[in-house]
Structure 1
Amino acid sequence: MTDPTDLAALAGARVLITGGAGLIGTALRSTLARAGATVRLLDNLSAYESATLALLGTGPLDPDLTVGDSADGDLVRALVADADYVVHAAAHSTVQGCANDPATAFRSNLAATDTVLRAVADTPQVRRLVLLSTAQVYGNGDPGADPGRPRVFTEDAPVRPLNLYASAKTWAEFHTRQLLAPAGREFTVLRPFSVYGPGQVPKPGAPSWVIAQFSMYAALGQQLPLNNGGRQVRDFLYLDDAAHGIAHSLLAPGAAGQTLNLGTGVTTSVRQVAELVCWHYPAAEIVDTPRPAQDPLGARADTTRMCQALSWRPAVSVDQGLTRYVDWIKRTPEAIPHWLRAETTEGRIAAWNPAAPARA
């Protein structure tokens, strides 16, 4: 699709990205910098070890980075006061991480979002805020849907979050509208589907980053565990495409006030991912394992509204993107974290399916 929304219009613009030291934040920084924008990152650097931050091209000495908490009102107000656009990507962003540490999840996903939104509401020169939500707000979709048909999530579908992380993002979407619309501030809510790409390093207890995980498991000669036989499906969005979609959402007139899926519209099963990885690593072994209770069955995005609002569509297919990721792993074997090297299939299954707490 020809893209009439010229990112060159961002030249000279000041963009603040909260959670900016993460995978999406650093990729977005690069996209915006190529367009001529001045980018400021805010991050408390709690999500990754220093080695992973270095792989992402950031760290405490990054001149574009302010190390701090997005729930710090004074700090956030000072940074927002110097911004034309704000992308709120900060979050405690794994399902298991939120379940294990709900207090941190509350501060990062609820208190920080409220802090950022109030600062934007009070700052007239901010042209637009983009909130990064998640496709997990859809849960498993309509429980009455035909299980034999591929699921497709449209933005008007009811939200049915299955976990604390998705619940917090659902609240953030409503809170964005409730605070910014009355203040006359433009906003766009994006629901990214499964983002992946070079630089992505799995986190412990997160079963859903399957392209990164399976590629690293195979590189180590470990088994590829297919939860639920790999019947879950995902809409895999390559990292560069995700960054371009977010950048376009800052400018596109049709995105103002909209909630938009951010995906490819292509359904890929987890088993297909495993088979693609095995093409690159023929010795890799696939094993069937139980599905974690809070792991969504998945679906693809309906991208009709996204394409219309942004006049843009993703360009990288799953096989192309996975090949780029595998090439990155082969060039950067030190990206594979030590804890992952030491894990076993049995340990992973136990971590993804914890026993219910004993009743008193």
Structure 2
Amino acid sequence: MIRKVATMQDSRLRELGGARVLVTGGGGLVGSRIVALLKANGAQARVLDRLDAYPHPVRRLFDIDANAAEVVLGDVREAATVRWLIQQADYVIHAAAYADVAACTRKPEVAFAANLQGTQTVLQETLRSPVKRLVFVSSASVYGNGGDDVQEFTESQPLVPISVYANTKLWGEHQVRLMLGGSEGQQYSVLRYFSVYGEPQVPKPGSHSWMVPWLSMSAQLGLPMRLNGGGRQVRDMVHVDDIARATVLALIADGAADQTINVGSGRGTSVREIAEVIARHYPEAELIDAPLPGGDPLGGYADTRRSRELLGWKPTITLEAGIDRYVTWLKSNPDVVPNWMAPSSSALAV
């Protein structure tokens, strides 16, 4: 199945025709969408990925082999592999990361190895290469808690991460600026993604992220839709197609050079409200409250002025339309629901 690039066409991306782009972490949900968009605009994307973040039945949905010029099975900590790929690249999108908040909390040593050591290796090899610009994928989690009032997160405000994952992303941002900020002939862009969702996203066991697939699949299985923290957390939801377009634009937009930019919709929605939108598709769904996991921020929404002014970007897919797309896809592909989510006596007793 070759997935069509569903993002709005942007003539500026044609500037990348013939360009060679290394996408670390290009085998995941976001990375694979970036690779597809690059191909659609005439660029050659090479992927470096361990390909272990998702089981094969899920990974095959991302169409990596169909869209990448080359897929290299490897680790961003392997300097020789990274050097070989970067020496062939005009641009780098560094999206590889141990990106599960709960998993990073359980295994901080793995998070440090992937997100710190791996990023350092990519930066060192970029400095020795002909790469014009590196885009570093960061996260809105660096802002920390939004407080009791719904907060608009602005790129220049103080950052107070409350999870291991967020801490590693903040370190990565600092290191990108330190190493590439004064580099002659090389530029960087730091993108802070807000809450990414979209088909064919599938949740991971033991995680409290990826709320749209979690809640949708729970409802489809007849399980309660668990609202951690009562669903009072606020999220700025951005469809993966819009995320991919912003990321590729950051490679070439003049205003994005050496800048940190939020990638969000500017709309804050509570987790409970998101669940209620999903529940419209499942009239029998039951919403129940559950404890708030550690490291799960109360959240907020993006100040979008920089993304509009520096990238010339704004999202094109509303939350309601994106959820409708996701549920429609899920109902058409019920076999994508992981076996570990299937109803059991223990699951139904939560």
TM-score range, shorter chain: over 0.9
Amino acid at match of 2:175: H
1:271 paired with 2:276, answer no
Please name the residue that 2:155 is paired with.
155
In the superposition, relative to structure 1, how do residues 87 and 179 fare at CA in structure 2: closer, same or farther (>3 Å)? Answer: same
Report if aligned partners of 1:5, 1:311 keep a CA contact under 8 Å in 2: no
Would you identify which runs of 4 or more consecutive aligned residues in structure 1 move more than 3 Å?
2-5, 58-63, 342-349
Deviation at 1:344, TM superposition (A): 6.9
AA partner of residue 85 (structure 1): Y
Looking at structure 1, the residues matched to 205 and 193 of structure 2 have their Cα atoms a distance apart, in angstroms, of 21
TM-score, scaled to structure 2 = 0.93
Does 1:297 find its partner at 2:303?
no
**Contact preservation (8 Å) 1:50, 1:59:** no
- The count of corresponding residues between Structure 1 and Structure 2 is 342
Task: Give the structure 1 partner of residue 46 of structure 2.
Answer: 40
Q: Distance in 2 between matches of 1:314 and 1:92?
A: 26
Please tell me the residue identity of whatever aligns with 2:169. Answer: K
Q: Quote the offset at 1:65 in angstroms.
A: 0.8
8 Å contact from structure 1 (residues 194, 234) kept in 2: yes
Please, which of 127, 138, 149 is the counterpart of residue 121 of structure 1? 127
Cα displacement string for residues 148-176 of structure 1 (whole angstroms, at most 9, x for unaligned residues): x3211000111111111100000000000
Say whether residues 1:255 and 2:256 are aligned partners.
Answer: yes
Q: Which amino acid aligns with 2:173?
A: E
Query: 1:226: Cα distance to partner?
Result: 1.1
Equivalent residue number for residue 24 of structure 1? 30
Q: Equivalents in 2 of 1:177, 1:102: separation in Å? A: 24
Aligned residue identity for 2:196: V
Offset, 1:100: 2.0
Q: Distance in 2 between matches of 1:216 and 1:180?
A: 42
The CA deviation at 1:272 is 0.9
2:14 corresponds to which of 3, 8, 11: 8
User: Equivalents in 2 of 1:281, 1:17: separation in Å?
Assistant: 37
Q: Does 1:73 align with 2:82?
A: no
Judge conservation of contact 1:73–1:115 (CA < 8 Å) in 2.
yes
| Equivalence for 1:352 | none
Where 2:265 maps in the other structure, the secondary structure is coil
The CA distance in 2 between the partners of 1:250 and 1:32, in whole Å, is: 11
- Assess if the C-alpha contact under 8 Å between 2:44 and 2:69 holds in 1: no
Local SS of the residue matching 1:283: coil
Same amino acid, percent of matched pairs: 43
Computed over aligned residues only, the root mean square deviation of the Cα atoms, in angstroms, reads 2.1
Offset of residue 333 of structure 1 = 1.3
C-alpha contact 2:30 2:244 (8 A) present in aligned 1 = yes
In 1, distance between residues paired with 2:349 and 2:120?
35
**Relative to 1, partners in 2 of residues 1:260 and 1:345: Cα closer, same or farther, differing over 3 Å?**
farther
Q: Within 2, Cα distance between the matches of 1:242 and 1:79?
A: 24
- 1:221 and 1:242, CA in 2 relative to 1: closer, same or farther beyond 3 A? same
Unmatched tracts of structure 2, length 5 or more: 1-7
Q: Tell me: CA distance 1:344–1:83, structure 2 relative to 1, closer, same or farther (3 Å).
A: farther
Match of 2:137 in 1: 132
Which of 102, 106, 115 in structure 1 is aligned with 2:108? Answer: 102
Partner of 1:194: 195
Over residues 101-130 of structure 1, what are the superposed CA-to-partner deviations in whole Å (9 max), with x where a residue is unaligned? Answer: 22221211110000001111111x211000
Q: Which residue of 1 aligns with 2:239?
A: 238
Find the counterpart in structure 1 of residue 182 from structure 2.
182
Q: Which amino acid aligns with 1:299?
A: G
TM-score scaled by structure 1? 0.91
- Measured at CA, do residues 216 and 69 of structure 1 come closer, stay the same or move farther in structure 2, by a change above 3 Å? same
Tell me the equivalent position of 1:228.
Answer: 229
Cα 1:122–1:48 shift into 2, 3 Å: same
1:330 aligns to what?
A: 331
Amino acid at match of 2:111: A
2:280 alignment partner, SS class: helix
Provide the secondary structure at the position in 1 that maps to 2:182.
helix
Q: List runs of 5+ in structure 1 lacking aligned partners.
A: 350-360
Query: Is the 2:97–2:114 Cα contact (8 Å) retained in structure 1?
Result: yes
Match of 1:93 in 2: 99
* Cα separation, 1, equivalents of 2:47 and 2:92: 10
Residue 67 of structure 2 is aligned to residue 54 of structure 1:
no
SS at match of 2:124: helix
Measured in 2, the distance between the counterparts of 1:92 and 1:25 equals 13
Counterpart amino acid of residue 52 in structure 1: V
My pick for the range that moved more, 57-66 or 253-262, is 57-66
Deviation at 1:4, TM superposition (A): 8.0
Single out whichever of 311-320 and 288-297 deviates more from structure 2. 288-297
Distance 1:343 1:301 in 2: 39
Match of 1:83 in 2: 89
